[in-house]
Structure 1
């Protein structure tokens, strides 16, 4: 029987994956406080339904940076999809296209950027880390533009990869079949070298990520590409205001799925101040902890324009390839439509903070 709920895929995926790979996928940084908070914060927010409203048809279609989406849902950037299924990014991008969702490819994808683009039937962005080797970054940007990617999502919360204890315990190292094929092999070599008690991913970031970049460096990138630039990893009003001031084209409110600084707020809790600071001046997206269509509705009600989904898509991929990933996205869309009907909001324009009750907060536990 096909899983009925998105969280059902978590256990199914775990049974398909080696222990170290499952740990890499599902783990977070530090004591994993933020990892847990991302989900629990959504469940603490009640909904305020309105009744006697015509909800025979609930419209979920929207646009984002000029591209059409069947619903305000997308696939968050995640590296090395071939770790989880032989179809890799081809499977997930096909799933996104079939679901009418945005697909954000990671610069550390395990499939060639042009091949991903050729398999895509929907909007496609490329995520970037800022490497010490700026030439390598520019080469990727040029290839993305040539292949038809619609925007760049620059991750800004990762001057280095945080300590992730699941990966340290397993000595997580990338296997040969899951290489970052779009980056020169010499730049990725450390990520394939095993060393007991360490994470190859963390060691690679210390070696290759550039921790010196500042807001001033954004102009350097903007001068070298016409692609829209979205910043991923904004959690505060102060940084949202700086993003607007520096002329970026969008913001992704993200705590890296709880995989970077442990102890930062759940993204749904950080979202209101970012939305308010931006004041509608540019699109705001959010990721982290989304497991149901009601979660999507809550983020949209706070003010997000689109919600990105990470781990659940890879759970679906691990369990059933393209079909599993597509089912995760389709389930979220169907649940969103149902939640809109049952809260009496027939269009996305009807979703505002009046949909949300007062959160029933209990302390997050370390």
Structure 2
């Protein structure tokens, strides 16, 4: 197992005891006590009746693993390579908005936690911290998530700024032409506190110039870093993404926060992976809470996974050390699962790790 390394705690987090938080569900329970009601309801919520939100988790739980014994695997290799860069393990921080309502140090704490845990952090367009400050703080790779708005000149300047600051990939969210039905947010009348500002957030609402595949091609012309599309849930859309020349696809239903009753991401993942057939990397988010979930996603075609809500809970509980601890727990669980399944490396994880009922 990798030795856990936590960043130096600030005065705001120095007396937080993380020893009793042993899994990612513990962090959610603790965060419910630590966060303001506004912040917690924002993070925990899904769209409408939150069916897809629950299905993301249930579908992972319903997949059973097929254990193999006496395989002499004691030190699994969790490394993967994405776009020419080696990741120590196939878990990234998904883009999530408004870290300033979760912890006083906001995205800077997230960046420190990611760096301490050797993880890639995908920064949201709705960051409450300027990109320059995040880039100055991070010591591990950063990617940038983009919402394309009507002001295309603003978009151009933003993505080129991210590239100039050293962000290594651009993730374009394509599943949000409008926001979903967010009843929880409506009930609390969600809005940013006066002292929290999102510097790159333009006015929300329907776009006058809807995003199309032509815009994806245009975005690729603006930068020299890989461009991924985030929010693919349909194999036909995956094929269109390939035709548009993207460098990668992220299978995502926006954490169940946009269109309710779409399937869980793990359910559609194998169909999208089959259509893409190795032409570009496939990543997945949605419901990942255990190392065994990471194994299941990789077995069904994902190169890596992203986690969002657990990072927010870790941030709220203890700032940078909380973020690092969430990632460390998940990495250690992945290593244990690989040992118990007899898989010495991530590329060795395939469908053979998934249990299927024998024919006779």
TM-score by length of 1: 0.90
Determine the C-alpha separation between the residues in 1 that align with 2:34 and 2:298. 33
Q: What is the aligned partner in structure 1 of residue 156 from structure 2?
A: 138
Superposed displacement of residue 182, structure 1: 3.5
1:46 aligns with 2:64: yes
Q: What is the aligned partner in structure 2 of residue 349 from structure 1?
A: 347
Superposed CA deviations along residues 49-102 of structure 1, whole A, max 9, x for unmatched, are 111101121110111111221100000001111110011111111111221211
1:217 aligns with 2:215: yes
Contact 1:81–1:178 (8 Å) recurs in 2: no
1:8 aligns with 2:34: no
Q: Secondary structure at the match of 2:40?
A: helix
Q: What is the aligned partner in structure 2 of residue 231 from structure 1?
A: 229
Superposed CA deviations along residues 102-132 of structure 1, whole A, max 9, x for unmatched, are 1100011011101111111112110001101
1:72 aligns with 2:90: yes
Q: What is the aligned partner in structure 1 of residue 145 from structure 2?
A: 127
Contact 1:155–1:233 (8 Å) recurs in 2: yes
Task: Return closer, same or farther for 1:110/1:210 CA change in 2, 3 Å cut-off.
Answer: farther
Name stretches of at least 5 consecutive residues in structure 2 with no aligned partner. 1-18
Mapping of 1:291-306 within 5 angstroms? 291-306=289-304
Determine the C-alpha separation between the residues in 2 that align with 1:18 and 1:318. 9
1:27 aligns with 2:67: no
- Aligned match for 2:253, one of 252, 255, 261: 255
Superposed CA deviations along residues 205-236 of structure 1, whole A, max 9, x for unmatched, are 33xx4562211222222222222110000011
Superposed displacement of residue 326, structure 1: 0.5
Determine the C-alpha separation between the residues in 1 that align with 2:146 and 2:208. 12
Contact 1:38–1:266 (8 Å) recurs in 2: yes
Determine the C-alpha separation between the residues in 2 that align with 1:210 and 1:70. 42
Q: What is the aligned partner in structure 2 of residue 178 from structure 1?
A: 196
Q: How many residues align?
A: 339
Task: Return closer, same or farther for 1:32/1:277 CA change in 2, 3 Å cut-off.
Answer: same
1:205 aligns with 2:223: no
Q: What is the aligned partner in structure 1 of residue 4 from structure 2?
A: none
Q: Secondary structure at the match of 1:320?
A: helix
Determine the C-alpha separation between the residues in 2 that align with 1:211 and 1:348. 41
Determine the C-alpha separation between the residues in 2 that align with 1:277 and 1:288. 20
Mapping of 1:255-274 within 5 angstroms? 255-274=253-272
Task: Return closer, same or farther for 1:133/1:74 CA change in 2, 3 Å cut-off.
Answer: same
RMSD: 1.3
Determine the C-alpha separation between the residues in 1 that align with 2:352 and 2:341. 11
Name stretches of at least 5 consecutive residues in structure 1 with no aligned partner. 189-203, 360-366
Determine the C-alpha separation between the residues in 2 that align with 1:358 and 1:10. 32
- Aligned match for 2:331, one of 333, 342, 346: 333
